[in-house]
Amino acid sequence: MSQNNAALDLHEVPKIHKWITLSLQHLFAMFGATILVPFLTGLSPAVALVSSGLGTLAYLLITKGQIPAYLGSSFAFIAPVIAASAASGIPGAMIGSFLAGLVYGLLALLIGAFGLDWLMKILPPIVVGPVIIVIGLGLASTAIDMAMNVDGAYSGKHFTVALVTLAITIVASLFFKGFFGLIPILIGIVGGYIFGLFQGIVDTTGVNAAWTEIISADSIGGVLGAIFHVPDFVVPFVHYSPFEIISWEIALIMVPVAAVTIAEHIGDQMVLSKVVGRNFVKKPGLHRSILGDGVATVIGSLIGGPPNTTYGENIGVLAITRVFSVFVIAGAACFAIVFGFIGIVTEVIASIPTAVMGGVSILLFGIIASSGLRMLIDNQLDLGDKRNLIISSVILVIGIGGALIEINIADVDVQVAGMALATIIGIILNLILPGKESGFGNGSMFQTNTEVKNNNKQIS
């Protein structure tokens, strides 16, 4: 893989003023999406910022500083975290997230020992693509409810704010260039927030109280004490024994989602390799990058943050700026941690109207679904093939339709539902139906070595 021209290569350190600017750019690129996940799941946005920063630093250490990737809140875990929280509270959801992180670690060990072919056979594009579509469309009702309902009742004013937010985000995505073209989500949230202020739907009580506390402080120490606050960390193993809150239900809600996020991770590594001009799957190795992703998720689970994953927004920043320095990524991670401890930032985030986040979510959740469709197109999957048509159709209907299986384990009724059930059934269908080669498409980056050899034979 040829080396692309870089403004700053992997281990180059920029001058301090550029370092700060470039790091803040990465932070702003992921900011809107990262705080949206905890906003939807009932977790603390401040804790999400801290966990994304700590997770990114851990990732950089585990990958030996050779992959310039930023990690933020995972959209794939939104529905599972909500379901796990409803079943066992936020500590239970954190235990489920912890278990999902352990799956990453186990997979990293297996890849290190046995290579990649077996993983690609389990998760070809015909399984992963429809499951990603399910992630986006499964959240569609959540986005619409946030956009137009207040306490379960329709509100035209709130829906108007949501539509204005959506319009601003779309305009920013299509027409803004350079740095502003990289942060359409953040621009949409800010624009919607300002419009919401004029519509009278923004509660600024917390922001005003935080600002009053800062300006009324009579000493430097008082000002610093008013600015910095410890986020609402949730440490499940401190207040609860794991055996009190861990259950088969939590495990079956959270763990299967790891199959989807692992497939997304592999795709991100392929894209990163093309952008930077290095083969990150080979060096430092997919086992290291997957382990780093898993450790970041475990870190989040230990402090009450959402599961983490590599971010497409930040890959876009790399592609446009050609700044590949891991020091810039590390700087962004440090800024995220600091922002999580600034109280007035937390209050501003908390004051964002639900309608604003709903307007942004309409686009974001649709993009997630569209990215699953794009995976099918990019890999040239033939849906005229009956096998592919069957697998994709079953995954879509089971995942979006709300199908579930109830299992009694040790006198406890456990439900496997939605995306988790769709993923499991999709994997099973792919393994048992004949004609597996069709599930990889033509020239797929997911092809195993065996499939590539077979295709080459057919071409010759």
Give per-residue pLDDT as tens, 45-55.
899 999 999 99
Query: Mean of the per-residue pLDDT values for the chain?
Result: 84
Q: Establish if 194 belongs to a structural domain.
A: yes
Please tell me the total count of domains within the chain: 1
Determine the pLDDT at residue 432. 93
Contacting residues for 40 by C-beta, under 8 A, at least 6 apart: 78, 82, 142, 146, 357, 361
Which has the closest alpha carbon to 54: 284, 287, 330, 317? 330
pLDDT in tens, 387-439: 999 999 999 999 898 888 877 655 556 667 777 788 889 999 999 999 888 88
Which of 48-62, 170-184, 427-441 has the lowest average pLDDT? Answer: 170-184
- Name the phi and psi angles at 307, rounded to 5: -60, 145
Rounded alpha-carbon distances, angstroms, from residue 398 to 93, 135, 141, 391, 420: 23, 12, 16, 11, 10
How far separated are the first and last CA of the chain, in Å rounded? 24
Q: How far apart are CA 456 and CA 388, in angstroms?
A: 22
Residue 437 CB neighbours (<10 A): 16
Distance of CA 328 to the CA centre of its chain: 20
Confidence of residue 70 (pLDDT cuts 50, 70, 90): very high
Query: What pLDDT shows up at residue 252?
Result: 79
Residue 141: predicted pLDDT:
87
- The residue that leads in pLDDT, 244 or 93, is 93
**pTM score of the predicted model:** 0.76
pLDDT value, residue 182: 67
More confident residue, 459 or 47: 47
pLDDT bin (cut points 50, 70, 90) of residue 71 is: very high
- Residue carrying the six token digits 């919607």: 192
Looking at residues 74-97, what average pLDDT do you find?
Answer: 86
CA distance 91 to 84: 9
Question: What integer pLDDT is reported at residue 337 of this predicted model?
Answer: 94
Q: Is residue 389 part of a domain?
A: no
The pair of structure tokens assigned to 365 is 């959740």
Q: Please tell me the predicted confidence (pLDDT) of residue 63.
A: 94
Domain coverage including residue 362: 16-383
Is residue 341 within 8 A of residue 23, CB to CB? The reply is no
What is the per-residue pLDDT for 199?
Answer: 94
The model's confidence at residue 200, banded by pLDDT at 50, 70 and 90, is very high
Q: Which residues of 261-277 are buried (b: 16+ CB within 10 A; e: fewer)?
A: bbbbbbbbbbbbbbbbe
In a domain, 418, yes or no: no
pLDDT in tens, 339-374: 999 988 878 887 889 899 889 888 888 887 887 888
For residue 233, pLDDT over 70 is answered with yes
